[in-house]
Amino acid sequence: MFYRTLIIPLIGLSSVLLVKAIAARRRRNPRRLPLPPGPKGLPLLGNLLDLPQIVPWEGYDKLCKEYGDMIYLKALGQGILVLGSRRRVVDLLDNRAVNYSDRVVLPMIKMMDFDWTFVSMPYGMRWRQHRRAFHQYLNNNAVPKYHPIMNEETKLFLQKIRSNPDQLFTDLQFLFGTTIMRTAYGFDDIRQNESLIHNAEKLVLELAKALVPGRFLVNYLPILRYVPSWFPGAGFKKHFKELAQLNVKTRCPPFQEAKRDVEDGRKGNHPSISFSLIDRLPEAGDPNRADLEAIASGVCAVAYMAGAETTVSSAMALVYILASYLEVQTKAQAEIDKVIGSDRLPLVSDRQDLPYVHAIVKEVGRWYSVVPLGVAHANTEDDEYDGYFIPKGTLIFQNNWAITHDPNIFDRPFEFIPERYLKDGKIDPSAPDPEIAAFGHGRRICPGRHFSNDALFLMAASLLATYNITAPKDDEGNVVPLKLEQRNPSIR
């Protein structure tokens, strides 16, 4: 309905933009290289109405099968490049990372007040400052500091599901939400964490919905930001405003409280990112203080906003797999019985002695794409690649789902086969790893992956050590086949 109401003014505006764009492109592309292949769009609207909205990663994969493993689309003047194979992703996002690590700050990011997160920051000094601070506390060597928090929360989770097994999915959400919240802020107050976790979940799901290419017109015609809220079809303004308010409510108070804790000498039981960052801030009155404080606050908040929902989605897929593939579960439990026994729970440090459980966690990351189209990169400069012209500022999606389901990389990709990572009873370092795509690419690769891998492994091994996971039964005792609730909001 929104499309229909605004279609005529949009066409007028788009014509002006189009004429300007053509003139500029002539200057920027002197060799007149073609754009990468893709479906022919409508005049002015381009491919806006072609952008797949339902299971878009499969839609883009189909287009790639038709036009080639890299397709170019245009929506109201905004170029969109979809990289559909590992080769294209490596060539551009890894090998030309200096040019391909930017983000287009879409209008709705600002409208939802999400421009504080370095996930959406343009490539540059400010992004680098945030990323460096984040990396310092969540790199591969730093993450073990948080294992005690993971252990405590995982134990609590196991107790909770004993008393109420029907709440498994809610408890999973709480497990990762609380683990990350405690890591970021050091809070132990469960009720406080609960409301923040729910808020963060809502924000992240709404953000992911809004990022699906073509879903919100304002992303392609920024001028729509200024349409009055009462204008028919402008309901998105109210929606984004409410989310912006929720964003402030979720992001600011925890950091302020962590600051008060540090000022009052209260130190949590375990190391937390906020404690270290706040402790190192220069004295009040220092000209750099405000800036460094904003970075510290952003780094803590992004950990739970970017980390909780993603890890929970993977964990849910893992539980679904264990209940659906009983032979996988039995094999994993036999391994745990043999290596750990029944006197204690597994630890992250047991991972190399539990290669089958490790392989299950890897295979979940491949089989179930949490971020199937990645987070769009952008190129800062015009580029020529493989005989094509790629204009600067192109939104570049990576079809991570297609890569982790490419039969040339992963044999029988739609089957769940942990054995594909094993050789002689150990993880085979030469086997292709889902991390070639699951966590993104190049300089923007997910910096929370070490944390997520450890927390997921611990949850999987502990759950397997303690329980049998089965699909629910109906009143007549028949197994009800599980449906993996696709949490990725790109499905309507």
Shortest distance in whole angstroms from residue 269 CB to ligand HEM: 20
Site for ligand HEM in 273-302 (CB under 6 A): 302
Annotated binding residue at 64?
no
- Cβ distance to ligand HEM smaller for residue 139 or 164: 139
Q: Which is nearer to ligand HEM, 374 or 432 (CB)?
A: 374
Which of residues 448, 458, 487, 490 is near ligand HEM by CB under 6 A? 448
User: Rounded distance, CA 157 to CA 420, Å?
Assistant: 30
The residue among 17 and 445 lying less far from ligand HEM, judged by its C-beta, is 445
Asked if residue 440 binds ligand HEM (CB under 6 A), the reply is yes
**Three-class DSSP labels, 72-92:** EEEECCEEEEEECCHHHHHHH
Helix boundaries (H) for 68-146:
86-89, 107-111, 125-138
DSSP 70: E
Q: Euclidean distance between the first and final Cα of the chain, in Å?
A: 16
Strand partners for 395: 80, 378
List the structure tokens of 395.
């939104």
User: For ligand HEM, which is the closer residue by CB, 64 or 303?
Assistant: 303
Instruction: Say how far apart CA 211 and CA 413 lie, in whole Å.
Output: 27
- In sequence order, the β-bridge partners of residue 377 are 396
For position 174 contacting ligand HEM by CB under 6 A, the verdict is no
- Encoded tokens for 165: 């097994």
Q: Pattern 121-140, binding to ligand HEM, x per CB under 6 A?
A: ----------x--x---x--
Q: Is the Cβ of residue 77 or residue 84 nearer to ligand HEM in the bound state?
A: 84
What is the pairing mode between strands 70-75 and 78-83?
antiparallel
Q: Which of 78, 129, 310, 488 binds ligand HEM (CB under 6 A)?
A: 310
H or E segment and range at residue 210:
helix 190-211
Q: Please identify, among the stretches 28-36, 310-318, 411-419, 482-490, the one whose residues bind ligand HEM according to the rule CB under 6 A.
A: 310-318
Give the DSSP H or E segment for 317: helix 289-324
- Out of 82, 217, 303, 402, point to the residue binding ligand HEM (CB under 6 A): 303
3-state SS class at 112? coil
Does position 311 interact with ligand HEM (CB under 6 A)? The reply is yes
Q: Is 200 in the site for ligand HEM (CB under 6 A)?
A: no
Q: Which of 370, 390, 395, 463 binds ligand HEM (CB under 6 A)?
A: 370
Q: What SS3 state is found at 384?
A: strand
Does position 114 bind ligand HEM by CB under 6 A?
no
Within 8 A by CB and 6+ apart from 372, the residues are 56, 57, 399, 400, 401, 488, 490
Among 179, 247, 452, 490, binds ligand HEM (CB under 6 A): 452
- From 337-345, 368-376, 378-386, 476-484, span contacting ligand HEM (CB under 6 A): 368-376
Closer CB to ligand HEM, 204 or 217, in the complex: 204
Alpha-carbon span 334 to 194, nearest angstrom: 35
Are 125 and 133 in contact by the 8 Å Cβ rule? The answer is no
CB of 25 to ligand HEM, least distance (A): 26
* 259 token code pair: 């600051």
Pairing of strands 383-385, 395-398: unpaired
* Segment interacting with ligand HEM, rule: CB under 6 A, options 223-231, 349-357, 415-423, 443-451: 443-451
Window of 21-29, 62-70, 82-90, 370-378 that interacts with ligand HEM by CB under 6 A = 370-378
- How large is the greatest C-alpha to C-alpha distance in the chain, in angstroms? 73
Given the complex with ligand HEM, which of 418 and 448 has the nearer CB atom? 448
Cβ-based nearer residue to ligand HEM, 45 or 318: 318
Summarize the annotated binding site as residue ranges: 446
Task: Give the binding site for ligand HEM (CB under 6 A).
Answer: 118-119, 131, 134, 138, 180, 302-303, 306-307, 310-311, 314, 370-371, 374-375, 377, 438-441, 444-448, 451-452
